[in-house]
A = this chain, B = another copy of it.
Amino acid sequence: MNADKIPDIIIGRLPVYLRALQRLADKGVLNTSSQELGEMIGISAAQIRKDISQFGEFGKQGTGYSIPFLVDRLRSILKVDRVWDVAIIGMGDMGHALARYNGFTNRGFHVTMVFDNDPNKIGQKVGEFEIFSTVVMIEKIKQQKLKIAVLTTPASAAQEIADQLVKAGIKAILNYAPISLTVPDDVRVQYIDPVTHLQRMTYYL
């Protein structure tokens, strides 16, 4: 089976399955069914079974899924059975909140560096981090061989920073700046813009 052929929309649902399964695991639950999982996350049981079956045989008719086993496999498929070091660029309110966010722990990510271009912020501490200048960003990211960055600059600075991140070897950008980025084909971008999410709901109101 060629993993590259699996549609991105399925890949996008796997982290949601993993999150729900890890929640059950934290409660000490050992087995679940596609029905139970589906009710937790609002996706049909059939869809869940179909998605998961793309990656092999996991469930047993009648007994459902072994949660520890499925969690292990999903973590491996999503490559979060390791810890990825992450840089955050832009130490405004959102950057601060993310630098201090404890939700990355045990989910595959660890913030290791934070950057800003404001001379008043450079050298200051955010939690355990010293804020570095974006002037040394490419160098520091290359040194640490980081592949993942979170971009929380204003929209006006985002494309320029993204270009520098690409030069530094970053392959995945989580972009909080409310602007679409242009990057090479081998670099992925995911967007978080509260307004686009809200507008997607107001349509239905």
- Which chain B residues border A29 with CB–CB below 8 Å? none
* Complex CA distance for A44 and B205, rounded to whole angstroms: 29
A20 at the interface (CB under 8 A from B): yes
Which residue on chain B has the smallest CB distance to residue A40? B180
The CA of A84 and the CA of B202, in the complex, are separated in Å by 9
Q: Roughly how many angstroms separate A114 CA and B107 CA in the complex, as a whole number?
A: 29
Q: CB < 8 Å: which of B96, B178, B182 contacts A19?
A: B178
Q: Which residues of B contact A203 (CB under 8 A)?
A: 11, 14, 77-79
The smallest beta-carbon distance between A57 and chain B, in angstroms, is 20
Is the C-beta of A42 less than 8 angstroms from some C-beta in chain B? yes
Separation in Å of the A157 CB from the closest CB of chain B? 14
B93 near A182 with CB under 8 A, answer no
A103 part of interface (Cβ distance < 8 Å): yes
B79 touches A205 (CB 8 A): yes
A15:B199 contact, CB within 8 angstroms: yes
A109 interface hit (Cβ, 8 Å): yes
Hey, which chain B residues are within 8 Å of A199, CB to CB? 14-15, 18, 78, 80, 107-108
1/0 contact string of A172-205 vs chain B (CB within 8 Å): 1010001110100000111111111111111111
Q: A198 near B108 (CB under 8 angstroms)?
A: yes
In the complex, which residue of chain B has the Cβ closest to the Cβ of A39?
A: B182
Q: Is A109 in contact with B182, judged by CB distance below 8 angstroms? A: no
